[in-house]
Structure 1
Amino acid sequence: MKKVIIALLIGTTIQAQTFNKAKIDSLFNLIKENNKGMGSISIFQNGNEVYHNSIGYADIKNKIESNQNTRYRIGSITKTFTATLIMQLVDENKLSLDTLLSEYFPQVLNAGKITIEHLLRHRSGLFNLTEDEDFMKWMLVSNTREQMIDRLVRRDVDFQPDEKTAYSNTNYLLLSYIAEEIEGKTYAEILESRIIKPLRLKRTAYGGKINSRKNEALSYVMEDSNWQLIKNETHMSVPVGAGAIVSTPSELNIFYENLFSGKLVSKASLEKMMDTSSGMGIGLGGETFFDKKAYGHNGGIDGFQSLTLYLPDESLSISYLGNGIVMSPNDLVVNVLKSYYDKDYQLPEFKEPLKLKTEELDVYLGVYTSQSFPFQITITKEDTVLIVDAKDGPTFPLVCYVKDGFKSDKAGATLNFLPAENKMILELNGNKVDFRKK
């Protein structure tokens, strides 16, 4: 469950073209043929599904192929659901954005200073429980609310409330508990009564142990050109409203369509959710696709990776849920939208990486900065692998695909170096940015 989407395509005015299903089919056929991903995608426009595709298997061992009804763990996209539930309670005057955490959990450090809005916008300063050193042990078993709170109260805060924005799953775990306190129901029951039943969602639910016989996807990781089953499953009592929902791409689009059409929260609440001026919205991240504003969330849990976006001006929603990831959902969705808008689209190339000696990497090492990009990038190496470390951003390894050219499919980034000029060009989701070495 990681940070929401970073810099997307910007700066080009695009008019929607006639939908070209064959062109997007060709992208997914290429991914399938090259074994670069497994998952499902759905595109809605003006409330109607205009495209769906599924590739790969929900269960490789039993040869169960994924299809339109396959359910996936959606990870942190759950937070958009939780934020919606909280804003419904605000609309009903059962809660206020100014309500203090101390009204519900006074034992939490700084509870008398932390508001509901701080939690919603990741501005509480509370320690992220998924970063606990023993997380991999207790995430696999059932946990009570008391156990989770006890772990939190033993930790110091990371910063003071409203000092800055920093993503923490703890915020949405606590919001789940607060909703349960107000409604006198479990989070699963609240989700069912307030969102699932009203929207008539058939494949969206509070998750449990995965059962592929019920068309639920298992997750896999690519090792030595083969998909290997990820056996560890987070017990859903751990993330609750921070990441416990399972769904399909089509039903995520239905949820987003209803949210942005004003059928789930008031206009004032939706506007607050879409306000990203402090760094994040309420259960939503905001970026720019082409010249259009996009809102959404990504998710990652137990090898599953997912992304849902909604472009209000286009009445366009797109969701991709993956249970086997090589190309990142972010990069995949950008390719889909390039194809959808017919914007200089070329199919990606999948080549075997070049193998370099460790001393051949030295020319690329250093700190790179750009006037137009928010992250300072440090390039280091581990033996024969080049590593990107973006300050206040992601860290990921690169593979060499051409002389002076490196990429990460999972991060959706390409770095082309010009060593003689001490320059580097970053291509991130179609946006090219020039960097200079310090």
Structure 2
Amino acid sequence: MKKSVLLVVALLVSSFSFSQDERLTKIDEFLSYLFENDKFMGSLVIRKGDSLIFKEAYGFYEANRGLRANGNTKYKIGSVTKTFTATMIMQLVEAKRLRLETRISRFFPKIAMASYISINDLLQQRSGIMDYVNADETFKEKLITGESQEDLLERIADYDAIFEPGTKHMYSNTNYYLLGCIIENITKKSYAENLKELIVDKIGLKNTYYTTEKTDVSKRESYSYLYNGSTWEQFPEWDNSVAFASGGIISTPDDLSLFISSLFSGKLVSPASLDQMKKIKDGYGMGLMQFPFGERRFFGHNGKIENFNAVVGYYPKEKLSIALISNADVYNQNDIMLGILSMYYKMPFPFPEFTKLDPDEIKPLLGVYNSDDLPLQIVIKEKNGELIAQATGQPPFPLTYFKDTTFVFQSAGVEITFGLDSFVLKQAGMKYKYTKN
């Protein structure tokens, strides 16, 4: 169900005027530059206190028809959903309908060590329950086809405990899937109904909801894309019921910035509950992470689903919230955020250079490569002066020139360094040697 689309490179008309603030003008120029160079599509909002100071979108939410995104385009936010789920759990705790010490055996007696795992362990990612999304290769097809809640809970019940609950931190989508089920069990309402009642209606969000329906562009819901060297190619859509309370919410940067600022200003939970959520241990609190930028510490969460990337952060001292969602990025989102914050705080940040190589330099690198270390064949092709890599059974991805004979695919943290009829692939601290056929 992939669609090849012609890329129309066009600057979007800004909905805000940045002429009074050089910082915001530069941020707009930076994101426009990334879009013009086929490195990014998405939307950014910056909010200071109650004032919205930046709101802009870049690119398309349906590239095949040339439908351009605006500030009301809706995107999947992935694991930023976890902050919403944690907030609803804390609301139920405040209403004395649940306790953080409650053992999950009350809800899931079949799960390994359920009588030792608390709600608090789920919130803090310290349960020892395996991540169902990454548990085994066979589950990847379920991301597309879906799986009923009953069957998925049976799958989770079959997992062995990885460690004793509370003793370690391990990020697992299973924890927040279970928390969503608990919310539904206690309230006797669906996760979508709880989200609307406990958060959306309470603070006036306009474009935030959970649905298991497929993307509907008539509602300005966006697809996600990969750039294949000449066109934006639609990324296969997943079944949203699998993501559920761990990663299934749809929203906008505008709503995310309002949500995080409302959370920190006491409109959703009490100061005591927020303090509990903010206590970071081994890099994670309760649905919150901490992002350092110099001496500043932002609280928030990031998320990835399909080829959407989302991040929302809040700096309490300045009451500054920032939300960025991309539906297509070739340039690493962490580096995009670094650029945005550097420009906002008037720190130097040169625009990256995207070099296209001479065909004669590219030609010796092309071919089919195999590895004894990894059971994935990788084909290296050329399109419009850029290298394109494609692993067996996976979508093609562009390789950006870095230096010497090294190329990168930044959004996935992939680095490839070519040698004579070979290359070394680095990702997530691992190295794999490939040889040309």
TM-score, normalized by the shorter chain, greater than 0.5: yes
- Counterpart of 1:403 in structure 2 is 404
- Counterpart of 2:268 in structure 1 is 264
Q: How far did residue 287 of structure 1 move?
A: 2.6
One-letter identity of the residue aligned with 1:403? D
- Counterpart of 1:122 in structure 2 is 125
Long gaps (5+) in structure 1: 1-16, 359-381, 385-395, 417-438
The equivalences for 1:374-413 within 5 A come to 400-403=401-404, 408-410=409-411
One-letter identity of the residue aligned with 2:331? M
169 and 92 in structure 1: CA distance in 2 versus 1, 3 angstrom threshold? same
CA-atom RMSD, angstroms?
2.6
The equivalences for 1:200-349 within 5 A come to 200-207=204-211, 208-230=213-235, 232-349=236-353
Q: How far did residue 412 of structure 1 move?
A: 7.4
Long gaps (5+) in structure 2: 1-19, 366-377, 381-396, 418-437
Q: How far did residue 162 of structure 1 move?
A: 1.4
The equivalences for 1:411-422 within 5 A come to none
Distance in 2, matches of 1:266 and 1:59, equals: 40
- Counterpart of 1:375 in structure 2 is none
Percent of aligned pairs with the same residue?
38
- Counterpart of 2:81 in structure 1 is 78
The equivalences for 1:164-179 within 5 A come to 164-179=168-183
Q: How far did residue 345 of structure 1 move?
A: 2.6
Q: Which SS does the other structure have where 2:147 is aligned?
A: coil
413 and 271 in structure 1: CA distance in 2 versus 1, 3 angstrom threshold? farther
Pick aligned residue for 1:184 from 174, 182, 188: 188
Q: How far did residue 222 of structure 1 move?
A: 1.4
2:80 is the counterpart of 1:96? no
- Contact kept, 8 Å, 1:352 with 1:401, in 2: the verdict is no
Distance in 1, matches of 2:49 and 2:190, equals: 34
2:95 is the counterpart of 1:87? no
- Contact kept, 8 Å, 1:43 with 1:318, in 2: the verdict is yes
- Counterpart of 1:107 in structure 2 is 110
- Contact kept, 8 Å, 2:330 with 2:398, in 1: the verdict is no
Distance in 1, matches of 2:263 and 2:22, equals: 24
With structure 1 as the length reference, what TM-score do the two structures score?
0.78
Q: How far did residue 145 of structure 1 move?
A: 2.1
With structure 2 as the length reference, what TM-score do the two structures score?
0.78
One-letter identity of the residue aligned with 1:91? E
- Counterpart of 1:38 in structure 2 is 41
206 and 383 in structure 1: CA distance in 2 versus 1, 3 angstrom threshold? closer
Distance in 2, matches of 1:274 and 1:322, equals: 26
- Contact kept, 8 Å, 2:207 with 2:252, in 1: the verdict is yes
| Deviation string, structure 1 residues 188-237 (Cα, Å, up to 9, x no partner) | 0000100011111111110331011211111111112321111x322222
146 and 318 in structure 1: CA distance in 2 versus 1, 3 angstrom threshold? same
| Deviation string, structure 1 residues 292-351 (Cα, Å, up to 9, x no partner) | 111111111111111111111121111111111111222111101111111013222222
| Deviation string, structure 1 residues 331-388 (Cα, Å, up to 9, x no partner) | 1111011111110132222223676989xxxxxxxxxxxxxxxxxxxxxxx999xxxx
2:156 is the counterpart of 1:155? no
Distance in 1, matches of 2:131 and 2:238, equals: 16
403 and 236 in structure 1: CA distance in 2 versus 1, 3 angstrom threshold? closer
- Counterpart of 1:13 in structure 2 is none
| Deviation string, structure 1 residues 64-84 (Cα, Å, up to 9, x no partner) | 100000000001000000000
Distance in 2, matches of 1:107 and 1:52, equals: 47
The equivalences for 1:64-75 within 5 A come to 64-75=67-78
Distance in 2, matches of 1:268 and 1:415, equals: 48
Q: Which SS does the other structure have where 2:353 is aligned?
A: coil
One-letter identity of the residue aligned with 1:218? Y
| Deviation string, structure 1 residues 379-426 (Cα, Å, up to 9, x no partner) | xxx999xxxxxxxxxxx998652238765532679999xxxxxxxxxx
Deviates more, 1:327-336 or 1:73-82: 327-336
- Counterpart of 1:364 in structure 2 is none
One-letter identity of the residue aligned with 1:196? V
